[in-house]
Every structure is written in structure tokens, then in C-alpha cells.
Amino acid sequence: MVVNVQSTPSEQTEEGLVHQALLYRNPEHLGDVVGRFATDAARTGEPLLVVLPAATHDLIRNALAPAGAELHFEDMSERGRNPSCLLDLFEDWISEHDGPVRVIGEPIWPGRSHAEVVEVLRHEAAINHALASADVSILCPYDAGHLDAKVLEGAELTHPRLVTNGTSEASQRYEDPLELLAGDRWPQEPRREPISQLDFAGDLHALRNAVATDPVAENLGRERRADLVFVINEAATNAIKHGDGRCTARLWQDGETVVSEVATAAPLADALVGRRRPEHSAQSGRGLWLINQVCDLVELRSGEHGTTVRMHLRAGAA
């Protein structure tokens, strides 16, 4: 099925999620499509959340200004720095309004690291499952002129629909979102030597002290070192609550970033855990959600062999 988008790049013709990747070649193409997307939002009275890197804001503001839609801007380089926080942002926008809403979100731009790109693509897959019944239309621009071919392939795998040369059509490569989340289509990067390894058998106090004094974390300031202790403590606490009480913590440096990894034998039952703010009455999920709020990037993997949480903290980041 092909939808004519000469006047409207995303026509909301059915209830539930409409999730499209816009593969644009130049700023003019981007401005044209998002302008028509916003014009259609104004016509239907759908509030529009715009989440873009700050450098793109002026261009998009100019393209959206004539549309007359209800707009709210966020900086993707801040709000989407850790892509696992984006589902929470989108769900808040949906819950704040009674009717259908729209979102423009550009989560990948040239210069994002391999690990960041992988987590963005996993986020894109996650929202197909999490927001399947939500009355929301999401348009995700991808800079096809500068992004790697593997990134663009990932956009096709994670978006049910693609917008290319003025038309919206079904992606022929689209795959099941839960299989993408659980599988190894996008492997993690190897750990970097030297690696500090801390074996944990239930003594959280000893683990916190070991992390706080580990030389790998020397380049972190006092506040970020405290964050490192906090997130490793939270991940290890999950091993006590939901596993056999044992885990292995590893730390290494990646440039100015300290990466920590906590591995446990227990798998997770919820593929979306940590991406959504837990209800006050929730008995689990709060620790991983807090980890996502503190870290610059979180890579969570879980399966029959257990669960690994890889957490990135940049020196000087707040």
C-alpha cells in the first residue's frame, strides 16, 4: 500500500500507532516533509512534540512556523542522550492529551557512537511494541545523505512505514520488535582493557567501597563517582531481589567515559523494564529506571543465560 503524501506526509487513517522513518537527503527535503506533517497536525488539531538535536531546531522551527500547530520542542541531544529514556518522554506526551498526538523525533545524527546507535534502534523497536495501541503518529527523520548504510537498514527494520520521495509506504524489511530487542542483530562492542573485575556475593557495603576506590574511575569527578557507585549498587541489588544474590561487576575506560557492567544469572521477564517510570505501587523496575535517569547510556541485555547491564558515565556530565 502506498499513501500519497504530497500534501500530508503522515495521514492518520487508523487508530493506534503510526511509526514512520523519514529518509531525507538534504535540509530542504527535511523541512518540506516535516512542514507538511505539522500542517496536517494543525488541520486535525493534534498537538506536536518535536524532539531534535539543538542544531536542527532553527531549521525546523522555520519549517513548522507557518503550520499553526500546537508545538512543544525538546533537545534530543539532551533528552535522548540515553535512548532508553525516550519511551518515557513519549508516553508522558500521550498521557497529557485526551486525543491523538504527534511526535517528530530525530534520535540518530552523524557522530553518535556505535553503542548509542544500537540503543536508538532498540528503542525504535521497543516503541512498536509499547505504543502499539496508542493514538500517536511518530515521524523519525534519518539523514540518508550522511548516515551509514547499516543505520539506514536499521531504520527500515524498526519502522513499519518509510517516507522517502514524497510517499509513505510499508517497509519491506520491518521485523518483529520483541525479536529485535531480544536478539543479537546489533552486537555490543567488546570490553576495553584494562578491566577491573569485582565479584559480588551479597555484601553491598563492600561492593560500594570497592567501586568508590577503583582506579578506573579516577577521571570521574566526585559527583559522577558517586553516581557510579549508585548505579552499580542498584544493579547488584537487583541480583539480590530477583536472582541468586551473586553478580560480577566490571569497570573499564572508554576515552573520557567510565563503563561499568553488572552481570547476573537471572533473566528479566519484562522486555521494557527500566524504560517506563514505575507506578508508586510497583514492586519492581524502579532500580533500572533510576539507572537510566543517571547514566549517559545504558545497554541492557537479558536472555536464558542471564542479564547484563552495561552503564556509561561521562566525566563531567551531569
pLDDT in tens, 242-260: 778 889 999 999 999 999 9
Average pLDDT score over residue span 225-245:
90
Q: Which residues of 66-77 are buried (b: 16+ CB within 10 A; e: fewer)?
A: ebebbbebbebb
Confidence of residue 137 (pLDDT cuts 50, 70, 90): very high
**CB-based contact 210:232 (threshold 8 Å):** no
**pLDDT tier, 79 (very low <50, low <70, confident <90, very high otherwise):** very high
Q: What is the mean pLDDT of residues 287-298?
A: 96
pLDDT of 80:
95
Contact (Cβ atoms closer than 8 angstroms) between residue 95 and residue 111: no
**Residue 250, CB half-sphere, CA atoms under 13 Å: how many?**
14
Question: Rounded to an integer, what distance in angstroms lies between the CA atom of residue 148 and that of residue 146?
Answer: 7
Of 182, 185, 189, 195, the closest CA to residue 115 belongs to 189
pLDDT of residue 2: 30
* Residue 291's pLDDT band (cuts 50, 70, 90): very high
Q: How far apart, in whole angstroms, are the C-alpha atoms of residue 87 and residue 159? A: 15
Burial of 116 (0-12, 13-18, 19+ CB in 10 A): buried
Whether the predicted pLDDT of 212 surpasses 90: yes
How far is it, in rounded angstroms, from Cα 42 to Cα 48?
Answer: 9
pLDDT surpassing 90 at residue 9 = no
Residues near 213 by beta carbon (within 8 Å), at least 6 away in sequence: none
- Which pLDDT belongs to residue 315? 87
pLDDT digits (tens, 9 = 90+) for 175-200: 999 999 988 899 999 999 999 999 88
Rounded mean pLDDT of 145-150? 94
* Rounded Cα gap, residues 164 and 132, in angstroms: 23
Does residue 20 surpass a pLDDT of 90? Answer: yes
